[in-house]
Amino acid sequence: MTEHERHRDDVADYLLGALNEDERGAFERHLRECDECQDEFDRLQPAAEALPASVQRTIDPDGAFAFIRDRVLAYVESELIAHEMNAFDAALALMALAHLGADVSSFTPALHVVIASLGEGGRHGPYKAYEWNKMKTPTRILVGGPEVTSAFVLMGLALARRAMRSGSRPA
């Protein structure tokens, strides 16, 4: 994977202040060397600067995106995938990790669960239905039948595949 491929999606995040300090530094170094990213930056910068301050605060109040991203990734990596997971939890983890740009090596536990669970739905689908109760309350939510869980797993795998192909940067 080229340096450009690692940074091509960072232009908008950089302009909106959504990169953490390490990511910002790496992107700035890349931007000095990559004409394609510089062209994209030049194209998007006027739009980002034209956003009224109130809109910028709406998009990322107090620059909180990086903080929230780091907290969600920490939860997924230390809680969700560190404990017993079912296929639904694994798909949820893959979606969060892929969307938030986690290092692709962090996908491994969730991918193992997806593979190990394949076929559990029997004749109804590749995966069985699950109830979800991570809220530590008496509430239980049936997230759907085997078809829903199977579609959810497929969505998680598609996002993970895209991230692995593009080589997500470490968080």
- Residues 123, 108 within the same domain: yes
Instruction: Provide the token pair at 43.
Output: 């194209």
- Residues 161, 83 within the same domain: yes
Q: What is the pLDDT of residue 115?
A: 93
Radius of gyration of the chain (CA): 19
Task: Tell me the whole-structure pTM to 2 decimals.
Answer: 0.59
- Residues 151, 76 within the same domain: yes
Residue 96 belongs to domain spanning = 65-166
pLDDT tens-digit readout, 40-87: 888 887 777 777 767 766 777 676 677 777 888 888 888 888 778 888
Q: What's the rounded Cα separation, in Å, for the pair 29 and 169?
A: 15
Look at residue 171 and tell me if it is in a domain: no
Q: What's the rounded Cα separation, in Å, for the pair 131 and 141?
A: 5
> Considering its fold, how many domains does the chain have in total?
2
pLDDT tens-digit readout, 101-124: 888 889 999 999 999 999 888 877
